[in-house]
């Protein structure tokens, strides 16, 4: 049987990180204009220019911690060393 190093906590961190990234992409959507001759300054507001990229970067970092974070499993008591 193969053992994976990602724990249940790691999976939840990865799911949370992906959810945070999706929220960042949702906040980045919109801001366009229906009339191409009218410029819409709404696309330069705080959520689209600052908050969304920040949420995406935080989500990537949370996923990285979920994958590469320390394992919470106890070390084997030498059973594999005898094989």
pLDDT at 27: 92
Question: Quick one: tokens of 9?
Answer: 């906590």
Pair 10, 62: CB distance under 8 Å = no
pLDDT at 15: 97
pTM above 0.85, yes or no: no
Q: Which of 24, 27, 26 is nearest to 56 (CA)?
A: 24
pLDDT at 73: 54
pLDDT digits (tens, 9 = 90+) for 22-81: 999 999 987 777 888 888 888 889 999 999 999 999 999 999 999 998 765 555 555 555
Q: Which of 18, 23, 22, 41 is nearest to 31 (CA)?
A: 41
82 has pLDDT over 60 = no
Question: Domain ranges in the chain?
Answer: 8-69
């Amino acid at each position: 049987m193969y053992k994976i190093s990602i724990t249940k906590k790691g999976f939840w961190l990865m799911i949370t990180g992906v959810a945070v990234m999706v929220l960042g992409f949702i906040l980045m959507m919109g801001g366009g204009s229906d009339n191409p001759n009218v410029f819409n300054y709404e696309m330069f507001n705080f959520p689209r220019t600052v908050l969304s990229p920040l949420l995406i970067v935080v989500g990537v970092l949370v996923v990285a911690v979920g994958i590469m974070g320390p394992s919470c499993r106890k070390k084997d008591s030498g059973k594999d060393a005898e094989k």
